[in-house]
Structure 1
Amino acid sequence: MTRHAVLDEGPAVALGALLGVEPGGFGDGLPPMWHAVYLLDWWRRDELGVDGHPLHGMPEPPPGAHSRMFAGGRTRHLRPLALGIETTKMSQVVRTAQKVGRSGPLTFVTVRHDFEQNGERAVSEEHDIVYRPLTSKPVDSKPGDSAPAASPQLRRPAPSAPPDEPVTPELTFAADPVALFLFSMYTSNSHRIHYDEAFALSEGHAGLVIHGPLQILLMAEALRARGTNVFGAEFSYRLLKPVTNSQTLTIGEPAGEHGSGCVRVVDALGTLVARGDVTPLN
């Protein structure tokens, strides 16, 4: 799948307002990870399923009713993306794997996105997406839908996370319903787990789910604020567990000898929920 567009500053200004970042002009190009609000898919309503996700597209969802979660990925920033220039985004599925987890069968799909300007690649990233078959019927499902009846007691088992590590706070972000709605809108993400609490509960979450890509952007902003150069490097990130309900996230550098390229996200209880690491490209 290929998309073309001239990048204008509107999406970046909107994202900066949400993040509380004063853009100060984009003469040097977009900050790392801000390409998340560009060259998006805008789906017709009849192309979306009951969960708000596209019925078809990139990647193609597995058959049947599934929950979808963004697990992490890797982004190589070769050079800043400049505004006002024709940009090409090329997307393709590069890996698919079937596994069995504690909650049952899982489908792992890795999608690669490459952004090019003036015939040169500027950003290359891989997103790891996990699909899990639903064992309950989502709210608002229609008669004849394939999933079995809903169980209000259903709760998704919390994935195990590594032991928490102390973090030196650098940024905080209030992830309330308004912020989640705005981020969904700016990234063309109509997945109902981020703005429809009843639906999120029906899929086994404890409340509205805070976007994984939002946490990744916050980690990138912490790195930028401390002066870590992400260009000419790979920024890898992993979402360790779903983060739900309105709360303030803390983003910062882990204590100990990790280096300036390490960044973590902890929730309001101090639980480590996401990690990022910058590695220079050879």
Structure 2
Amino acid sequence: MIDPSEWIGRQRTSDDVIDAWHVAAFNAALDRSPELPADGTPLPPCWQWLFFRPLYAASRSGPDGHERLGEFLPALPVQQRMWAGSRMTVHRPLQVGERVTRYSTVADVVPKQGRSGQLVFVTVAHDIEGERGGYIEEQQDIVYREHRPVGGAGEPARELPGPAWQALWRPDPVLLFRYSALTYNSHRIHYDRRYCVDEEGYPGLVVHGPLMATLMVDLAERHRDAPVRYFEYRSHAPVFDDMAFTAAGVPDGDGARLWVTRSDGVLALSGRAE
């Protein structure tokens, strides 16, 4: 195992513009109005994931389609990886038309032993600053695991309250393609069914965790009628393109408790917003 301390503190800087077309295209993917938003329109939380799209040569791709490990993220023997969750504070929303810079740092690398084998949790901290004053702090947790079939198992959702709001979603390969294209996410689990089944051991195409997290916090903003200033979520089980999922939530103080469940009753994501 490579010494994790060799990777802590590694940095990368990315520049982008919050362009109106990307915002409209995501709305269109969600079957909402594709009208271009006006310059200065605040960007909802989690929509920053549509930007800072990874740019690397095809020759630097790994076998899963992502950027090859060792370029920025640690190169570790346990190379099957997934985005396990995030925490973000929206100090001031980014705006459509704003030039933005993201400063990324490998903040922590923690090896653990899980029930399914060896795990390594990598935390990447992002500071996003805009020329008009937009500012977001975020920490993303990425988990590496031993390369073995993971299937679709998960724990049934227990002790969840009756939802005050909920939205049913029926994902399909077209939605997954559009989100992958908008985020320039070339991970093959979202579009290559043969790779998904034969190499990763999933029963179908995997719905993006960040996409479901975005729908979860979107639900809270729409029903609390107030901007979200803090949001965190954690992934529990994968969702596939042949099953529906429900984003749901309840008021919790001045915020909301949020979750996503699969059509088979398994808890896929949990989170909270303030």
For normalisation by structure 1, the TM-score amounts to: 0.83
Counterpart pick for 2:235 among 232, 239, 245: 239
Alignment CA distance shift 1:57-1:23 (3 Å) = farther
Same amino acid, percent of matched pairs: 34
Measure how far apart 1:11 and its partner are.
Answer: 1.0
- Partner SS state of residue 178, structure 2: helix
Residue identity in the other structure for 1:213: P
Q: Which moved more, 1:83-92 or 1:243-252?
A: 243-252
Counterpart pick for 1:40 among 38, 53, 56: 53
The within-5 A match list for 1:4-83 is 4-22=15-33, 25-26=37-38, 27-56=40-69, 59-64=72-77, 66-83=79-96
Measure how far apart 1:75 and its partner are.
Answer: 1.0
Structure 1 counterpart of 2:6? none
Structure 2 counterpart of 1:100? 113
Structure 2 counterpart of 1:213? 210
8 Å CA contact 1:155–1:206 kept in 2: the answer is: no
The within-5 A match list for 1:108-187 is 108-118=121-131, 120=133, 122-135=135-148, 154-156=149-151, 158-160=153-155, 163=158, 165=160, 166-187=162-183
Measure how far apart 1:65 and its partner are.
Answer: 6.0
Q: Which 5+ residue runs of structure 2 have no aligned equivalent?
A: 1-11
8 Å CA contact 2:231–2:273 kept in 1: the answer is: yes
8 Å CA contact 2:220–2:273 kept in 1: the answer is: no
For each residue in 1:146-180, what CA deviation from the matched residue of structure 2 results, as whole angstroms up to 9, or x when unmatched? xxxxxxxx454735465262434532222111111
Counterpart pick for 1:266 among 258, 261, 270: 261
Alignment CA distance shift 1:21-1:112 (3 Å) = farther
Q: Which 5+ residue runs of structure 1 have no aligned equivalent?
A: 136-153
1:67 and 1:56 map into 2 onto residues whose CA distance is 11
2:139 and 2:83 map into 1 onto residues whose CA distance is 11
Counterpart pick for 2:270 among 236, 253, 275: 275
- Partner SS state of residue 92, structure 2: coil
Measure how far apart 1:258 and its partner are.
Answer: 3.9
1:173 and 1:58 map into 2 onto residues whose CA distance is 36
Alignment CA distance shift 1:134-1:89 (3 Å) = same
Alignment CA distance shift 1:84-1:186 (3 Å) = same
How many residues align? The count is 258
Alignment CA distance shift 1:74-1:58 (3 Å) = farther
Measure how far apart 1:119 and its partner are.
Answer: 7.6
Alignment CA distance shift 1:65-1:46 (3 Å) = farther
1:47 and 1:84 map into 2 onto residues whose CA distance is 31
- Partner SS state of residue 247, structure 1: coil
Alignment CA distance shift 1:96-1:155 (3 Å) = closer
- Partner SS state of residue 50, structure 1: coil
Q: Which moved more, 1:11-20 or 1:244-253?
A: 244-253
8 Å CA contact 1:207–1:245 kept in 2: the answer is: yes
8 Å CA contact 2:167–2:246 kept in 1: the answer is: yes
Measure how far apart 1:13 and its partner are.
Answer: 1.0
For each residue in 1:53-93, what CA deviation from the matched residue of structure 2 results, as whole angstroms up to 9, or x when unmatched? 11146742433462111111101111111122221111111
Residue identity in the other structure for 1:39: F
1:270 and 1:168 map into 2 onto residues whose CA distance is 18
For each residue in 1:174-202, what CA deviation from the matched residue of structure 2 results, as whole angstroms up to 9, or x when unmatched? 21111111111111111111111121122
1:222 and 1:177 map into 2 onto residues whose CA distance is 23
Measure how far apart 1:124 and its partner are.
Answer: 1.0
Counterpart pick for 2:248 among 235, 249, 252: 252
2:71 and 2:45 map into 1 onto residues whose CA distance is 23
Query: RMSD in angstroms over aligned alpha carbons?
Result: 2.3
8 Å CA contact 2:42–2:94 kept in 1: the answer is: yes
- Partner SS state of residue 167, structure 1: coil
Q: Which moved more, 1:195-204 or 1:184-193?
A: 195-204
Measure how far apart 1:221 and its partner are.
Answer: 1.3
